[in-house]
Structure 1
Amino acid sequence: MRFTHTLRFRLIVLSVLCTAVVSLAGNLSLYGYLNDIINQRAAHIDEIYLSTLQSQLNTYLTDLNDLAVLCASDSTVSRSLNASKAEAIDAQERLDAYLATSPVQNYIDVLSVVNDEGLIVSATAQTFGELHDYDAIRAQPLYQQAVESGASQQVGVVQSIHGGEQALAMIRPIQGLGSRPGQGYLYVELNLELLDRALEPYTELNPLFVAEASGELVTARPAEVSDDFTAGELTDGDCMIGGRLYEVRSEPLSMGGLRLYHCVLQTELDQEGIHILYTVIAVVALSLLLALCLSVLFSAYFSRPISRLNDRLRRIAANDFSFDPAIEKPQDELGQIGRTVNEMSMSIQHLLRETEAMYNQRRNIEIDLLQSQVNPHFLYNTLDSIRWMAVIQKNPGIANITRSLSNLLKNIAKGTQDKIPLREELGLLNDYIAIQSVRYLETFTFENRVPEELYDCRIVKLTLQPLVENAIFHGIEPTGECGTITLTGRAEGGDLYLCVEDDGAGIEPERLAGILTTERKRSGSSMNGIGIANVHKRLQLIYGRQYGLKVESEPGKYTRVTVHLPKEV
């Protein structure tokens, strides 16, 4: 009898076939399960990319809007509309100053103020002004819309006045002190290269672009699409682009009717997923009868690595992305899947670290931006006080005020983000009060009632000085009478509370409601331009949102600002 006709052969063949069927069914099922998880993670990562890019592009557009608001509401700029040469020069310097401090200054091609009388005042932007700029601006359809509609602002994609390239233009009426409605307009052009550079790091993965409401692209055209392609053909969901199926997602940007489009290529596995599912179900159903007799033998072989993979996936779902070598031990398909899972975990962990690093970098930048430099007007006022002391009093007081000024400058030059003992902060505050006492002679008195046992607690440098400065300028000085500023402090549990209170003019309820969220215009009498809102934001960035300032006031009676910090020694 030939071996092929024996029962042993038949059992071997049957066992091999049964094992192959069960193994195929198990691997396909597991592959589909893991593929679903990977697709879900990929979709989540794509959402993070899209949200991050949307936030970044909106930040650029917000910076552009902030620049336009600052320039259009400036009184020096509005006075230049009277066509005085000196006022026009002052306005140009003011526009240059605003542009120099804008985060998008390197992409501003045009920043000009025009009126109907032939006046044009231009800042020194990335492109040089030309003789035809005035006529080119007034010929822009966007400018005509702003004039005809009387709207507060017009934004849109236009042809640049300095060439044929597209640019994002903003036209805003001048609304500074003394200006009349429609007397003049601010015209700003933003180079769309800014949007291209923001998208460039991500375009290698999937097509990304920004388009107008009409569907015309305003950023670089992806290589996957033809020259006649417009975004108006796309809707959120599955769409055909260049003969390939993509999942399209779009998000609106904050102005100009622009939208950000993100296209994700659908793989063949996604298209055939439903067929694989039906096949696996059929194979498993047919294999159950054949695999029943061998389930005991095969269970030990399959259950252990599958359990390890299941445990690993549960840990991934619980945000544990550490490397697990145990799931890679099998030298078969399960081991390959384990390696794929580990690679996926490492990729997600790397992405999370990069996201955290980007957040920390942005947070540090925001903290640094809140640290203002010394206002030269304060130096001028102080030096003027010193001069009059020398002329009128002829006494050693000039040495004291000079020493106080020197101490302030020396400490501010070292930075304002450091944490120092409360004792040193009070020393800086005393130096500031010594200088202001000369300027505002017999206008206010300062009382320090902070217990000495709190002097070793550490706080952020220049936290108290802006609050006392605000009490002098906005509390005591407007009353025209002598007032008192009182500083108190206490410790409760693990927190430190410092309170600056004055008996001055107080704050109206409508202004009090937004005093911690609204940035006030920088005062020429301020030492460093750090207002109450900036102090509050700076403390929350450093210590957390549960800390910061609390402002209480009653008009005509008092204003009390309480600083809430963690107690650090």
Structure 2
Amino acid sequence: MRHKIRHTIKLRISLITVSFSLIIVVFLSTLSFTFFQDYARRSIVQSTEFNLQLIAGMFGQKLTELDMLSKWCVVSTQMAEWLDQESPGAQNSILIYDRLKEVIWNNRSNGYIRRLIVTDAAVSKLLQAGSNMSDSWPVTIYNLPRLGLAGIDAPRVYRECAEDPYAIGEQEQVIPVVRPIRRPGSSERIGYVYLAISADALLDQLINYHMPEDCSLYLTLGDATYRLEKGNFIDISDRIVSSSARKETTLSPQTVVSELRMDKGGTSLLVGCPTGIEGAFLSQSLSARRISAERRLYVLILALISVAVLLFGLLISFLLSRIITRPVLKLRRKIDAISESDFRSDPGIEWDDELGDIGRGINDMSGKIVSLLENRLADEKKKRDLEYRMLQSQINPHFLYNTLNTIKWMATIQNATGIAELTTALSRLMKNVIKGSRTMVTLKEEFAFLDDYFLIQRYRYGGAIVFEKTLSHKLERVSIPCFSLQPLMENAIFHGIEPKGGTGRISLSVERRRGVVEIVMEDDGIGMSAEKIRGVLSDEEPADPPGLFREIGIASVDKRIKHSCGSGYGLDISSEPGLFTRAVLSVPYILLDAPPPPDNASPDEAPPDEVA
């Protein structure tokens, strides 16, 4: 036989608690990891951005100061006049050269000026100034074309970082600035100014700038991108596969966060800040190690939180098991005790909670089972006593009928008609009572039964009681609970007429009001008080003297009608003390078509010896 797997409440509580805890852990871990990862990246981006803004500002300030020299050459009228003269002469050339050196000397960043060259459009004149020019090839009108100044119509400011074309020996990086010089009041080009700014102007700003070892610094000048490697800016423009901007939360809306993909598959996340110079950006890649370290830290924190939540769930499961499992075991032991016929009350299972309510219910059930068993034993005893009394009171009905018929025939022979009538009525009455098995009879049958009962009472009271009845032929087949009218007549005789002196009148009439049939019995006895009526209807008044039926009284009639016909029907009694008592019995208008049983035949239809 296959055994069914049994799941305990403790197991279910534990599974539900642990499952719920796991769901919370997974949800919180996912949410927290996403939030922490975003927070870590944002904090790194913003801290990098803050540092870059400081350096980029210094870059922009330094480049702006140096660019002021090229701008002075463009707007200087002295320079324009010198360039516009075909033969300015040595004196004028010395004057303008001294003026140029003075402007360079007044510039706070003059130490980064590798060389400043001014020439006319035909490259026939030349002015040159700067620092450390002795370490480079001299510039003449013959090697000046290697700068490629001819044809430049627009300024070329900070577009690249290139090697000094006139350097001797170790190459030095410079940032060239080229501007055309125009005749005042005209757009005609009359010359060019070439400013070579040493890359040290930027590198010296990075002396105190610290960043992680796995980070790189990038300089963007125009369309070219350079990476700082070992104190030099290396052009990596041809190695960049793609550069796409990413949406990140930054301190400044001008800060750009982009993802840089290199040709060898490397990917870097860059934070770029403008330097204040058009086309010049300073960028730094984020530290992958730092991001990984913070990610590991957050994962560790989340793992600890998850373990704590799981332990908390297990603790709750353990506490719930103790709170629920122990009381359930006590309740189970009590139920097992009841199944073994131990119905004693156990106050130890009546706790102050929902399980205590169940315990109180079990104790109440035990008490009710005890009461039920006691009532059952009492009922069994009453049943045995009743069976004994019924056995004692059993009389052969046929013997009783034959005896009554014998008395009737003897009275007839002796011309004692009263005895014959009384015996016949009593015989029919007892036959209806003993053999009557139907609960509903017709009004005609109930009236016939009432006639036999009144005949006996009339002889008892010497004919002093008059009985008047009225029954329409149309209402003879109306159904009514059997033995409903006899208790009313009995009440009228014993409680109404007999206390008056034994003489009186009883009237019985039947009327139909729509779907209701009202049977009215009225006597002119002493009447009844309202309290007496309530006692009779509530069965509080004992029958004295005892009537025909021990268990059928006025209240029983009302209850049987309500039970058989409905709560809208029943018995109503009204009385005026000293004048009358009226009992109105209401039943539904329902016709009974079944013919009366043959037991209703009168005993005088056959001689005594023919009654079996």
| TM-score with structure 1 setting the length | 0.39
TM-score, with length taken from structure 2:
0.37
Looking at both structures, which has the greater relative contact order when contacts are Cα pairs under 8 Å and sequence separation is at least 6? 2
| Higher CA-based Rg | 2
